[in-house]
Amino acid sequence: MPPGLHRRDMLGGAIGLAAWGLTGGRADAGGQGEVKDAMAKHIVMIHGANEGGWCFDKFKTVFEGLGWTCHAPDLVGHGTRAENADKTLVGVGMADYLAELEALLELLPPKPVLLGHSMGGVLAQQLAAQGLAGALVLVAPAPRSGILPQTNSEKSLDRELMGLGQFWKTVINPNFDLACIYTLNRVPVAEQRAVFDKFGPESGLAFFQLFFWMFDQEQATAVDTAAVKCPVLCIAGADDALIPVVTVEATAASYPQAAFWKLDGHGHMLVLEPGADEIARRIAGWLPG
């Protein structure tokens, strides 16, 4: 690594180059009418742990049909960037993911809508706290720093992680049986394997920072909630066994301006479950402007 070039700079540069291709090289945000029109119709969808931009395919179809420009980047080690993820994700943390997204937003018109799912919901809040969001949509958001486990199922999962030893020094691979219980329980049984096969490894450090934030000296999942001034929508699946309704309510409670939806019949992967298109249309109808 060249002197003075840090890991976060490299990661941010990598996604920046990818984003340049997505936006057609348009980084101009000079305030012309054409740019202002684009500002209101850009949405950045940020995936969760073990996922990739692919999880938003149904949402993208709806939003693009309504005239939105959609960006669903793959964070390092995820989706189309998952090759050798068992090595590239070692030591990667939430700050690295955040740096990649900051680089992407520099190439887009100011203040797009930010839509984050699960882990992506924490990253979306951190970006919004920097004043980078025109609106914030949090879909089954993972708990940020300061939100303790609310249910026995969450506490049980935390104990399972603790049983893995120094998991923050490695990567964590998804488990099909557990996924069927916690994340795919509202995906039709006939489709569960196909969805699961798209999952990939996740950074153990990122999991540590998310679920054991009280021991994280970097406080990598902290959010200055008072700095979030844009409209906020929090969405919980009534049958989400990973991020239950009460935990999403704890996220929403810090935002006096937040709308809160509890969606019956939906679980953690409501972005791709049956009915995802209706959810996307409802979100589009809620968005200001």
At residue 159, the pLDDT reads 74
At residue 150, the pLDDT reads 79
At residue 46, the pLDDT reads 98
Go through the domains of the chain in sequence order and give each one's CATH number.
Answer: 10-20+30-286 (3.40.50.1820)
CA-CA distance, 202 to 92, in Å (whole number)?
9
In 3-state terms, the chain is what percent helix, strand and coil (to 5)? 45, 10, 45
At residue 153, the pLDDT reads 78
| pLDDT averages per 10-residue partition of the chain, 289 residues | 39 42 36 39 97 98 97 97 95 98 96 98 98 98 90 77 85 95 97 98 96 93 98 98 96 96 98 98 93
At residue 67, the pLDDT reads 96
Give the residue from 192, 183, 203, 283 showing the smallest Cα distance to 243.
183
CA-CA distance, 235 to 276, in Å (whole number)?
12
At residue 167, the pLDDT reads 85
At residue 148, the pLDDT reads 77
pTM: 0.86
At residue 39, the pLDDT reads 42
Token pair, residue 6, equals: 């840090």
